[in-house]
Chain A
Amino acid sequence: MTETKLKRAFVTGITGQDGSYLAELLLSKGYEVHGLIRRASTFNTARIDHLYHDPHESGARMFLHYGDLSDGSRLVTLLESIRPDEVYNLGAQSHVRVSFDEPEYTADSTGLGSIRLLEAIRMIGLECRYYQASSSEMFGATPPPQNEDTAFYPRSPYGAAKLYSYWVTRNYREGYGMFAVNGILFNHESPRRGETFVTRKITRAVARIKAGQQSELFMGNLDSVRDWGYAPEYVEAMWRMLQHDTPTDYVVATGTNYTVKDFLQIAFEHAGLDWEKYVKFDERYLRPTEVDALVGDASRAQEQLGWTPKVLTPQLARLMVDADVEALSVSGSPWIDTVYVP
């Protein structure tokens, strides 16, 4: 029997929605997974607790390390000791609305985090493949559909910071010949989406209204057009980008368009409710500058990576409502969704 070397991945943002699904995917493929987590006095690992085994146990393949994308020397130390084959940079201040209130922090984590990682890899001379989580928010005001050749026009500090990371990832690929790629991901949601993001806010409210725990839902702009896909399918695309022969950038999207209002309607209907009875407007949820429509064209990912999305927005909304209903029924005890395979 030949022993094949275990592949090793380093994931920033492992406690987030994408990080947790990616860790799950990589573990299922036999990887050893190292995650970067920020030290906090409260637990922030709820999304990966079900994957965690005490490192003292034999067979543990997921390891967590304290650190922060703002601490460049810590990144050097960790990368030097872990020596990963693949680095996935998913860590960021990832909320667009919040980025207007915290522009500097967003610039530092979402923007400079990538250059610190890339520079650490270059300094150590690590032969690894690098994935940068780029975002459809970089397109901002450029009209849809957007693909890899579409010009960027970010409308938020979040979009601008993501765009900076996109460019330095390309600069390091072209200037130093690194295997560094950008996955330009359009909105991707799941039962693990943070509760302040619009889709999850809606599905969670539906479950609570259904259970009689809530009677109103306050919303901002209902007319924004988005292309919402299912997060576990999107992390699969990330992994495929790093397995490809040549590094390049890819748009990942479903290519469909729905408004926030559409999502509301589907989610409420699924629970047998009429959304118009519960939804109220609150201007606090409006962004200072809105991004009207983001709809991606993922032809390149389909042709070169063989990636196609299976779960589209209506089904996504329904599975998120089901998950929130289920989670509510066991509230107080730990609950996590299992990946839906169509």
Chain B
Amino acid sequence: MRADNDSQTILVTGANGQDGAYLVERLVGENHEVHGLCHSEDGAVRLREAFPDVTAHVSDLADTAGMIGIIAEVQPTHIYNLAGNTSVERSWQFPTETADVLGVGPVRLLEAAWKLQEKSSRRVKFLQASSAEIFGDTLEVPQRETTPRVPVTPYGAAKSFAHEMVGVYRSRGMLASSAILYNHESPRRPESFVARKISREAAKISLGLSDNLTLGNIDVYRDWGFAPDYVNAMITILDANEAGDYIVATGHAHSVRQFVQTAFAYLGIEDWERHVTIDRALYRPADPKQLVGDPAKLRGLGWRPSVDFEELVHIMVEADLASLREQASIS
């Protein structure tokens, strides 16, 4: 029985994102009072449509007064901070904005939550969606919670700063945890991310709607998991009695090439090379070498991923097939 977790007033930032939507869905299902933060009115409308029981708020992590106001109004017992740009690419274009939202944004929230805790003498639990990108060029494979951080992108540097600040607030006595999330995918992943791009295009090719898939470097290895499993991990971490950092990963690395192969094989296409073009313009200037996480500590809390790599690819391809068929039948 988790006494202090029974009646939760929860604030979720980034509630409209891939993870945010899965998280809100689960929390609402557990009858918690859920507040979602969106950074536009359109976003708030979408959130209310999807989840009528959720209170939608409009504000921005870059706005200090807004954050203080939200925390004072909602008086949350639990905060999940998922908001912000998730594209590494974009962080080279907008490094200052990235730092302000992904780096200082969590500090605005943490400080407001810390003040609320001090004033109310009631614990405020905080979960930061940290990222494998903080490990960047580390030589340690697989990475653990104690692996030194070597961010190689403005995105990684900003996430790393937030990660350190969560640690600072934790050592001051706040139940603040970081979930160090490795790549996690789902049918809700936007097509700008490679996994979804592959599942979508492979499904189109199999239906004769397209005949080519253009990719960058397909020999990079990533540790891919299923987003709903990672959302479960976040809840497991925040509900634990003690705060800490946790690697959220499967522990297995697969290349983009394997993802492509598995997707096409599921669709009955063995000669996938015929459909794939490699474009060197899509290679990135700097990319982490091998990000694979060791989730041993999180397993200690009882967490297990529900799907493996092959099943993840199948789920995504199946979902894209279904949506393409539906579109075709409507038109």
For B147, give the chain A residue with the smallest CB separation: A151
| A165 CB, min distance to chain B CBs, angstroms | 9
Among B116-124, B164-172, B190-198, the stretch in contact with A:
B164-172
Among B11-19, B152-160, B294-302, B312-320, the stretch in contact with A:
B152-160
Contacting B161 at CB < 8 Å: which of A116, A164, A171? A164
Report if A104-B111 is in contact (Cβ < 8 Å); known contacts: A115-B95, A154-B164: yes
- A332 at interface by CB-CB < 8 Å: no
Contact with A along B90-133 (1 / 0, CB 8 A): 00100110011001100110110000000000000000000000
* A104, B107: Cα distance in complex, Å: 6
* A179, B92: Cα distance in complex, Å: 18
- B151 at interface by CB-CB < 8 Å: yes
Contacting B168 at CB < 8 Å: which of A115, A171, A289? A289
Judging by beta carbons under 8 Å apart, are B111 and A115 in contact? no
Judging by beta carbons under 8 Å apart, are A171 and B151 in contact? yes
- A157 at interface by CB-CB < 8 Å: yes
Judging by beta carbons under 8 Å apart, are A164 and B96 in contact? no
Judging by beta carbons under 8 Å apart, are A289 and B171 in contact? yes
Report if A171-B152 is in contact (Cβ < 8 Å); known contacts: A112-B99, A112-B100, A160-B168: yes
Give the size range of B's interface with the partner: 20 to 34
Interface centre among B92, B103, B110 (most CB of A within 10 A): B103
Judging by beta carbons under 8 Å apart, are A112 and B96 in contact? yes
Chain A residues whose CB sits within 8 angstroms of the CB of B168 once the complex forms: 103, 154-157, 160, 289
* A289, B165: Cα distance in complex, Å: 12
| B15 CB, min distance to chain A CBs, angstroms | 23
- B149 at interface by CB-CB < 8 Å: yes
Contacting residues of chain B (56-100) with chain A, CB-CB under 8 angstroms: 64, 92, 95-96, 99-100
| B140 CB, min distance to chain A CBs, angstroms | 10
For B152, give the chain A residue with the smallest CB separation: A171
| B285 CB, min distance to chain A CBs, angstroms | 6
Please name 14 further chain A to chain B contacts, defined as beta carbons within 8 Å, in addition to the given A163-B161, A167-B151, sorted by A numbering.
Answer: A107-B104, A111-B103, A112-B100, A112-B103, A118-B95, A160-B161, A163-B164, A164-B158, A164-B161, A167-B157, A171-B286, A175-B92, A175-B153, A289-B172
26 A-B pairs whose Cβ atoms sit less than 8 Å apart in the complex: A103-B165, A104-B64, A104-B104, A107-B165, A108-B104, A111-B99, A111-B161, A112-B96, A112-B103, A112-B104, A115-B99, A115-B154, A116-B96, A119-B95, A152-B148, A155-B168, A157-B165, A157-B168, A161-B161, A164-B158, A167-B156, A168-B95, A168-B154, A175-B153, A175-B286, A288-B171
Q: Which residues of B are interface residues toward A (Cβ below 8 A)?
A: 64, 92, 95-96, 99-100, 103-104, 107-108, 110-111, 148-149, 151-154, 156-158, 160-161, 164-165, 168, 171-172, 285-286
